[in-house]
Copies of this chain bind each other. A is one copy, B any other.
Amino acid sequence: MSESQSRQGAIASQQPLAVRVGAEFAGSFFVCFAIYMMYSISAILFGVNMPFYVLATALAYAAVTAMFSKISGGQINPAVTIASMLTNATAVLDGILYIIAQVLGATAAAAVLRFILPTNDTVTLKTWFSTAVNGFDSASPTYSILSSANINFGVTMAIVAELIAGLIIVGTALRTSGAHCHGAGSHARAWSIGAAYGVATTITYPITGAALNPARSTGIALLGMNADLTQNPVEQLWVFWICPVLAAAIVSLVVIVARMIASNATRPTN
């Protein structure tokens, strides 16, 4: 089994950097295009639907992870890439290029969506984008319900929810990557990661619209910054970068400490 592991590790490192960066771009484009379509067109035409958001988000990340897991690892999310760099599973330069590719992929998806969406005087870009961007306070997807009762979901709540969601996503991605993944396991791993994004959507959607991935938040925010939204999405973007990155740092720290405890106990494992 250790032979199979090292062989797989070898295959992964054999993929040229350009191919791996391209995979991260394409993966981010596919996932974000699906998510933007869901939160703009379907949300506007068919209304809020939690099981749909949870299911489709889980399937999107699962399918794309399965597609690219043997090329770049299918990280897709800058938070996962940062955790992978901090735990030495991805080289720093590679990781930086992955993150740039992820953000560009998401931005391209948002740009394609903006290009194809039909608009006129009554149905504007604001109509389509207002439910697709991430936000809190007056930009939370449940603001209109909450404000009628004089409450709202503010920045503290957004940070706590996105942080916990980030821990689940990064924890699952890290625990199931690299040496933990053998042969047929790469598909099963894709499903575990999909499940993590599904849970994270459950936790965060009513508060922030389910950011979960800084690339996903950034792409639609950049294209929506001139869409006359009530709240400019770029101004709240810092939360959707800080929380996942903080989650990546915490998970990486826990993994490193756990490795040290385990290595002190008997001998290094995993």
Chain A positions within 8 Å of B, measured between CB atoms, are 1, 4, 7, 11, 14-16, 18-19, 22, 26, 30, 33-34, 37-38, 41-42, 45-46, 48-52, 54-56, 58-60, 62-64, 66-68, 70-71, 112, 115-120, 122-123, 142, 145-146, 149-154, 156-157, 160-161, 164, 167-168, 171-172, 175-176, 180, 182-185, 187-192, 194-196, 198-199, 202-203, 205-207, 258, 261-262, 265-267, 269-270
Judge whether A262 and B30 touch: CB under 8 Å: no
Inter-chain contacts of A161 with B (CB < 8 A): 37, 116
Q: How far is the CA of A14 from the CA of B1 in the complex (A)?
A: 18
Copies, count: 4
Interface of A is mostly: helix
Partner pick for A118 among B41, B157, B188, B190, CB 8 A cutoff: B157
Please give me the residue from chain B that is nearest to A119 by CB atom.
Answer: B151
Q: How far is the CA of A115 from the CA of B154 in the complex (A)?
A: 13
CB distance from A55 to the nearest CB of B (A): 5
Inter-chain contacts of A150 with B (CB < 8 A): 120, 122-123
Please give me the residue from chain B that is nearest to A58 by CB atom.
Answer: B59
Please give me the residue from chain B that is nearest to A35 by CB atom.
Answer: B202
> Top 5 A-B pairs ranked by shortest CB distance?
A187-B188, A184-B185, A66-B192, A63-B195, A59-B198
Judge whether A51 and B52 touch: CB under 8 Å: yes
